[in-house]
Chains A and B, each alone.
Chain A
Amino acid sequence: MDSFTTPLLAGTATGALLLIAALGLALTFGQMGVINMAHGEFLMAGAYTAFLTQQVVTNADVSILVALPAAFVVAGLLGLLLEVTVIAWMYRRPLDTLLVTVGVGLFLQQLAKDVFGAQGDPVRTPSWLEGNLPVFGYHWPYRQMFTIVLAVVALAALAALLKYSSFGRQIRATVQNRDLAETVGVRTRAVDRITFFVGSGLAGIGGVAVSLISGTNPRLGTAYIISAFLVVVAGGLGQLKGTVIAAFAVGIATSFFADWTSASMAQVATFALVVVFLQLRPQGLFTVRSRGLA
């Protein structure tokens, strides 16, 4: 039982992390066709926000609660800044935007190294997240479970935002048909900015969750981001459910592969799995189809 529950539960937690990271990516990719390669560095920014919060609010039990909204805002503002200064100028050049954000990511990583040092810092776990829950012989750390809670809350909030708020309707209108949305009065550029803020902010929240598990370090983003990208690719665009399924599938699959072989072979296997999956569904799990020779 152990060899099954352990990777399953640990993988679910990884999947939850990937989901938080991938939601923001999928959101901006779906809406603006922009892949933000600096997204991983926003994750890192969230982790460092958690670290810094603990320097100010030394009580770890409380600081995490401050860190979550703070990280959302910090990463969100970084995203907003990126949108306004760079991405807005590269409209309809998605591959170029991708490369520019690669540059931004490199820059931010080096900045973190210079400011915080290359080694990384620990983030203390609040006492209410210490301990674990025995499930079929696996001691499931509360920290991992917390990640899942965070992911579910983030997902629910995002889904509600998209579905019920007028802003959400504007996003969906923009995704489906930007020109038409504009003609009916949606200020699509403003919508883009807010989407970027929200999507990047989610990365910040993911960063806090990561910091609880592995502390901070300047290369923290790179460790998760490639998997998050694979999630976006496999999940397809336009619908959150594709991202959700893909995130947990990738998380759990990687966890099982790692259990059977090694962590690095698991990466190879997951990559192969995604490529094979694309043979079956080149557009990912779910896609909004469009017509014509596009």
Chain B
Amino acid sequence: MRTAVRTFGPLVAIAALAVLLLVVAPAVLSPFRLNNLGKYCCWAIAAVGIGLAWGRGGMLVMGQGVFFGIGGYAMAMHLKLEAAGPEGVPDFMMLYGDGTMPVWWEPFRSGAFTLFAIVALPAVAAAILGYAIFKRRVKGAYFAILTQALAVVFATLLIATIQETGGFNGLNQFTFFFGYNLYDPVNKKMVYSIAAALLIGCLVVVWQLYRSRFGELLVATRDAEERVRFLGHDPANVKLAAFVIAAVMASIGGAMFAPIAGIISPSDVDATASIFLIAGVALGGRALLLGPALGALAVGYGRSSLSESFPDQWTYFLGALFIVVILLFPAGLGSAFGRAAALVPLPRRKETTS
């Protein structure tokens, strides 16, 4: 009984969130709010991956914006090409350049290739970088700094390639999403639902990962990396797996972000954006199953509502959030609530002793 609760309780919580996001929210929110919630879901998808890598794996990934950007730009390229029509060239290339399209854009005409790329590109990029870093036992702050440097480099590169990626403005003005007109509210709702469903899907994936032996091994690696070596595992592989999964999740989040936000630009993927992604994870509870996602949803909501009323104050708020949460609630608000709840005696306590 007790173990059943422990095993499937989280699934019930995920199901509850699914009902909220997929049934309740579309029914009660205005199209504008629903679209905003869609953006938060995209950030939350990336946050779930950060929870896996950072919360469970101890790898402070400060450059997830890069993978968010890979997915986002891959999707955006496809949407631009879709908007341009067969054989067409994206509008901004005529504007900033001579109207010729770089060859590496060409495959993104295909929706199937784009979907494949959204998963494969971040996986390959993360695998290469992670392999280079983890195999040489670079970790801790070094790892964090390298990932952040990667985000800076990535954003710089995007800004510098105005003819290929739209530069500072990024890619925007999408009209179709795999054949569906994005100006139609029904279709916007559908895109939202896809993002929310993907968030739920990612949560189910990490739920299984966390209860699996891999999940235990990952935590063991986080807490005593060198010891894991003497269990016959290369900790680099364990970390690499988590890092790659986190990268793919960030990419999926980014891919859905582009059609929902209607834009993807360097400021959505740079170092500050990457840090923003971490904020929700820290707030919700990095090592918890639902903490990162709920935290990201909350921080996303906070960002929208604060920027609406005080555009500049948001940064103070973000800064303060890091300071207060990490200083006072390092395990996140989710854990703080959990601890408070634990003080209330549970009924049927006896069953725990076995």
Which residue on A lies nearest to B60, using beta carbons? A95
Interchain CB contact under 8 A, B136 and A110: no
A89→B327 contact, CB < 8 A: yes
Interface with B: A55-63, A101-109, A128-136, A138-146, which one?
A101-109
Contact yes or no, A265 B327, CB < 8 A = no
From 249 to 294 in chain A, residues with beta carbon under 8 angstroms from any chain B beta carbon are 262-265, 267-268, 271, 274-276, 278-279, 282, 293-294
Closest to A282 in B: B136
Q: Across the interface, do A104 and B319 meet the contact criterion of CB distance under 8 Å?
A: yes
A100: Cβ under 8 A from any B Cβ: yes
Is the Cβ of B319 less than 8 Å from the Cβ of A103? yes
Q: In the complex the two chains form, is B227's CB within 8 Å of A275's CB?
A: no
User: Helix, strand, loop or mixed for chain A's interface?
Assistant: helix
Min CB gap A272→B, angstroms: 9
| CB neighbours of B330 from chain A (8 A) | 93, 96
Whether B316 lies near A107 (C-beta < 8 A) is: yes
- A113: contacting residue among B136, B282, B312, CB under 8 A: B312
In the assembled complex, which residues on chain A have CB atoms less than 8 Å from the CB atom of B323? 86, 100, 103-104, 107
Please indicate the chain B residues that have their CB under 8 angstroms from the CB of A262 in the complex.
160
Q: Does B186 contact A (CB under 8 A)?
A: no
User: Does any Cβ of A come within 8 Å of B197's Cβ?
Assistant: no
- Decide: B140 and A275 in contact? CB cutoff 8 A: no
In angstroms, how far is the closest chain A Cβ from the Cβ of B340? 21
Minimum Cβ distance to chain A for residue B72 (Å): 19
Q: How many residues on chain A are close to B (CB under 8 Å)?
A: 45
Residue-by-residue, is B142-166 near A (CB-CB < 8 Å gives 1, otherwise 0)?
1011101110110011011000000
Q: Are B312 and A103 in contact (CB under 8 A)?
A: no
Cβ–Cβ contact B275 & A102, under 8 A: yes
Cross-interface CB contact of A264 among B136, B146, B159, B226, cutoff 8 Å? B159
Instruction: State whether the Cβ of A51 lies closer than 8 Å to any Cβ in chain B.
Output: no
CA distance A100 to B328 in the complex (A): 11
B307-336 near A? 1/0 per residue, CB < 8 Å: 000001001101111110011001000000
Question: Number of B interface residues, CB 8 Å?
Answer: 44
**Contact A229 B149, beta carbon cutoff 8 Å:** yes
With beta carbons under 8 angstroms apart, the residue of B142, B152, B315 that contacts A109 is B315
Q: Is the CB of A98 within 8 A of B141?
A: yes
Query: Is there a chain B Cβ closer than 8 Å to A248's Cβ?
Result: no
| A226 contacts the other chain (CB 8 A) | yes
Indicate if the CB atoms of A100 and B136 lie closer than 8 Å: no
Q: Say if the beta carbon of A233 comes within 8 Å of chain B.
A: yes
**Known A89-B327, A110-B312, A267-B153: A99·B322 in contact at CB below 8 Å:** yes
**Residue of B132, B137, B278 with most partner-chain A CB within 10 A:** B132
Judge whether B321 and A103 touch: CB under 8 Å. Answer: yes
In the assembled complex, A120 has its CB within 8 A of some CB on chain B? no
Q: Is B298 an interface residue (CB 8 A)?
A: no
Q: Are B140 and A106 in contact (CB under 8 A)?
A: no
Give chain A interface residues in 171-216, CB to chain B under 8 Å. none
B133 interfacial by beta-carbon distance below 8 Å: yes
Given contacts A94-B141, A113-B312, A233-B145, contact A264 B326 (CB under 8 A): no
Q: Lowest 6 A-B CB distances belong to which pairs? A: A103-B322, A107-B319, A264-B160, A106-B319, A282-B136, A110-B315
